[in-house]
Chains A and B, each alone.
Chain A
Amino acid sequence: MSAVIEEHHDDHDHKPTGIGRWLFSTNHKDIGTMYLCFSFLMLFIGGTLALVIRAELFQPGLQFIDPELFNQMTTLHGLIMVFGVIMPAFVGLANWMVPLMIGAPDMALPRMNNWSFWLLPGAFGLLIASLIMSLMGMGSAPNFGWTFYAPLSTTYGPDSTDFFIFSVHMMGISSIMGAINIIATIINMRAPGMTYMKMPIFVWTWFITAYLLIAVMPVLAGAVTMMLTDRNFGTSFFSAAGGGDPVLFQHVFWFFGHPEVYIMILPSFGIISQIVPTFSRKKIFGYSSMVYATSSIAFLSFIVWAHHMFTTGMPVATELFFMYATMLIAVPTGVKVFNWVSTMWKGSLTFETPMLFAIAFIFLFTIGGFTGLMLAIVPADFQYHDTYFVVAHFHYVLVSGALFGIFAAVYFWLPKWTGNMYDEGLGKWHFWLSTISMNILFFPMHFLGLAGMPRRIPDYNLQFAEFNQIASIGAFIFGFSQLILLYNVIKTIRGKSSEKATDQVWEGAEGLEWTLPSPAPFHSFTTPPTVK
C-alpha cells in the first residue's frame, strides 16, 4: 500500500476527500493544519479558564467559584496552555514549514506524524473530561497546579490524577514521535546543496528543540510513572516516611521543566529570525552566531533546573552553581536580541502585522528575560518565589514571547498556506489590542508580586485590589481580542473578499517556501530543488 510520487506526475493536487483525509492523513500540510486548529481550540478553552480566574480575582473575597474549583482552574489553564496550545502550535508550524523550507516533499515519517497528532485529542479528551466531570459534581479535576508537585499530586491528589498521569504519557509519546520525525526530516530530507549552515533559522531552532524534546519528555514520563506507583502501588519515591523525598519530585520535574521552557521559546526565536529580515529587507545579522547561541541556550537549559527550587533548602554551593549557570543564559539570549536589532538597523523597514508582532516580541520578551535574571538571584528569589512576580515573568516570556511568535508566524505564512492575503486592518487591530491589553494584564502583576501577593490563591488582601482590577480588565480585553484573530483567519481561509497572495507574498521574503505557488501544492517538492 504505497504511493510513489514520480517526477512527471500529471496532477500534484489529488487530495483525499471527506473525513478520511484528516483521520488517515499522511500529508504534512494537513497534519500541520490539524495541529494548528487543535492548538487554536485549546487556546480558547485555556483562555476561558484564565478569564474565570481573572473574574474571581477582580475583587478580594470569594465571588464566583470556591477555592477548590479555583485550584482546578489554575492547574488546567497551565496544562492546557503549555501542552495543548504552545507545543502543538509549534509542531504544527514545523509540520507546515520545515519541508517547505528545506525543499522536501513531506516529513520523513508521515504515518507516525499523523499518530503524533491524533494522540493529542485522546490525551486532552481525558484531561478535559475530568474537568467536565468535576463541574457535574463527580469528583475533582487535577487541582495541584500545572507543576503537580508531590505530595499534592500523590498523597492528596484527587482520583482524576491517574487519568492525568496517563494523559501526560500520551502527550509525551506524541512529542517524542514528533521530535524524532523532525530530526529525521531535517537530517535526511534536505534538498541538494542545503547544507546545515544554509538552513533557515526556523529550521535550526526546531532541529535543536527536537533534541530537547527527545531528551526531556521521557524524564517527565518517568516522573509521572513514579507518581503513579507512589499513588497506587505503595512505592515511596516522594515520601520521606519510606526514605524518599518530595523534593526529588521537583528535581525530576524541573529537569524536564527547564528545557521545556526553551522548547516553548526556541521555535519562536526561529520565527522572529525569519520575519525580521523579511520586513527589514536585509539578510539576518550574524547567522552563525544565531545558530551557536541557540545551541548554547539548549545546552545550558540542562544545567539550570534547580533555580526553580531555591527555597527547598539546597546547600549554598548548589544554589550558587544554579544561580550563575542561570545567569549565563542571558549571554546567548542577549546575542539573539542584539542580532535582531542589528538586522533592523539601517534596514528598509515596513510594519505589516507579522513585523509588528515580531518587534513586540523582541521588546516584551526582553522584559520577561530581565525579570528572569532578577529571579535567578538566590537571595532575591527567596522574596519573589511563588509570588505574582513569577506569574508576571513567565507570562511575559510565554504570552508576549511564545504566543506572539506564533501569532507572527500565522500572519506571516497564512498567505502561503491559503493563497489569500489576510485583512491587514484587522491584523493591526488584533496586534494593538493584544499588545496593549497584554501589558495591562501582566505588568501590574510585577508590582503585586514585589508587594508579596502569593500566586494560586482565590482571595487576597485588600491592598492588592487595584492592581488586580487593572489586570482583570486587561485580561478580558486580551481574551476577546483573540476573536479578531479567529475571524481574520476564517475570513482568509474562505478568501471571498481577500486579495490573492503572490508566490513570494512579501517583498523581502527569501527562502524555498516562497518559490512555491500560494497556496502551496499538496505535495510540496515532488523533485528536490537545488540550493546554491
Chain B
Amino acid sequence: MSSSTNPDVYFIPEPSKWPVVGTIALTTTIIGAVTSIHSGAINLILPVGFLMIAYLFFGWFGAVIKESLADSYNPQVDKSFRIGMLWFIFSEVMFFAAFFGALFYARTIAVEWLGGAGNNAMTHELLWPAFDAVWPVMSNPDNTKFVPPKEIIEASGLPAWNTAILLASSVTVTIAHHALRANHRKPLIIWLAATVLLGCTFLVLQAEEYIHAYTELGLTLGSGIYGSTFFLLTGFHGFHVTMGTTMLLVMLIRSIKGHFTADKHFAFEAVAWYWHFVDVVWLGLFIFVYWL
C-alpha cells in the first residue's frame, strides 16, 4: 500500500477532448453500421466512423504514452492502471462466457429438447418429428430456412496447428518479458517480433479455415445453431487476436524506440496479460467448439 500513501503528489490529467471524440466516433460508426446493414451496402458514414475510431486510438493512447515518457505517472497511477486492465480483462471473460453459455445451453438443452428429451416428447412430435438430436447438428429442425453444413471443421487439422501457434506465442511473449526485465533489448525485440509473427500466422490460418468452411463445407453463419455458435465464438476470438496482435505490434515499435525500462513497462505487461487471456479463451474454444 505504499503506492497509495504518497503524501505530497497526486496525478490528475488535464481536461481532455478524447472522451467526447470517442463518443462522436462511436455514434458515427453505429449510424454507419446500421444504415449499411439496412441498405445492404456499405455507405460512406461507416468508414468515416472507423477513421474517427482510429484517430481516437492514436490520439488517446498517444497522449498517455507522452505522459508516461514525461514521467508523470507515479506508482499510484501505475497501480490504478493495473487494476483497470485486470478488471477490463475480467469483463472480456464475461463477454465470452455469454457465448460459451449459449453453446452449452444449445448442446445440452435446446437441441436435446427439440429432440424430445425430458418432458418434450410432444414438442418433438408436433414441431419437427424428423429432427434427430445429435451434436454437431448436421440436420436442422427446418432445413429449408437454415441450410445445414455438409461437414464441420475437424479439431485435428488447422485448429490443432493454431493451438500450437498460440501456445508458442505465449511462451515467446514471456521470453520477451524476461529479456525486458533483464534489460536485454535485442532478445526483447526478437522474441516480441516472433510473437507478432505467430499472431499473424494464427490469423492467416483462421482466415483459411473460414474460407474452407464457407466455400467447401457449407458451414456458414446461417447453417443453424452449430454454425452460429462456431462463428460467433471463433469470430470474436479472432477479433481479439487481431486486437492483441495490433497491441503487440505497438509494443514492438515502442520497444524499438526504447520506451520501456526494466522496471517501468506497464503497457508491455498489460498487452502480455491480454495475450495470455486470448490464449486461454482459445484453449476453451479448442476443447469445447472443435474437439468435444
Contacts and interface: CB of A to CB of B under 8 A. Distances in A.
Interface string B11-30: 11111111110111011001
A166 B4 contact: no
B262 interface: no
Given A214-B87, A234-B220, A243-B110, A110 B140 contact: no
A10 interface: no
A200 to B, nearest CB: 18
Contacts of A4: 9-12, 72
A226 B232 contact: yes
A219 B87 contact: no
B4 A190 contact: yes
- Tell me if B's interface is mostly helix, strand, loop or mixed: helix
Nearest to B236: A225
A206 interface: no
Given A106-B12, A243-B111, A527-B7, A126 B30 contact: yes
Given A180-B88, A221-B98, A237-B225, A20 B15 contact: yes
A4 B12 CA distance: 6
Nearest to A104: B10
B101 A243 contact: no
Contacts of A25: 15
Nearest to B60: A111
Interface stretch (A112-120, A268-276, A356-364, A388-396): A112-120
Nearest to A16: B15
- Say what secondary structure dominates the interface of chain A: helix
A106 B20 CA distance: 20
A170 B38 contact: no
B50 interface: no
B199 interface: no
A2 B26 contact: no
**Which of A118, A125, A181, A237: most chain B CB closer than 10 A?**
A237
Interface stretch (B77-85, B152-160, B161-169, B242-250): B77-85
A242 B145 contact: yes
A105 B17 CA distance: 21
A528 B97 contact: no
Nearest to A114: B19
Interface string B158-199: 000000000000000000000000000000000000000000
Contacts, number: 258
A2 B14 contact: yes
Contacts of B33: 166
B17 A248 contact: no
A26 B105 CA distance: 43
Contact of A170 (B30, B118, B228): B30
A151 interface: no
B221 A109 contact: no
A255 B99 CA distance: 13
Interface residues of A, number: 87
A23 interface: yes
Interface in A189-221: 189-190, 192, 214-219, 221
Given A111-B19, A315-B118, A162 B97 contact: no
A115 B7 contact: no
Interface stretch (B62-70, B201-209, B284-292): B62-70
Interface string A14-28: 001000110111100
Interface in B139-153: 140-142, 145-146
A306 to B, nearest CB: 12
B30 A528 contact: no
Given A5-B10, A183-B83, A122 B92 contact: no
Given A118-B23, A527-B7, A218 B98 contact: yes
Contacts of B17: 23-24
Given A119-B26, A242-B141, A245-B113, A214 B94 contact: yes
Interface of B: 3-5, 7-20, 22-24, 26-27, 30-31, 33-34, 37-38, 60, 63, 66-67, 70, 72, 76, 79-81, 83-84, 87-88, 90-95, 97-99, 101-102, 105-106, 109-111, 113-114, 118-119, 127, 137, 140-142, 145-146, 220-222, 224-229, 231-232
A-B pairs with the 7 shortest C-beta distances? A222-B98, A234-B222, A243-B225, A115-B19, A241-B142, A235-B228, A24-B15
Given A225-B232, A235-B222, A242-B146, 19 more contacts: A1-B16, A3-B12, A6-B8, A110-B13, A111-B60, A112-B19, A118-B19, A122-B26, A162-B34, A170-B30, A180-B91, A184-B87, A187-B79, A215-B90, A243-B111, A244-B110, A248-B110, A255-B98, A315-B118
20 contacts: A3-B12, A7-B7, A23-B20, A24-B17, A108-B83, A112-B19, A114-B16, A115-B22, A121-B23, A188-B83, A189-B4, A189-B76, A218-B97, A226-B98, A236-B146, A237-B228, A243-B226, A244-B110, A245-B105, A252-B98
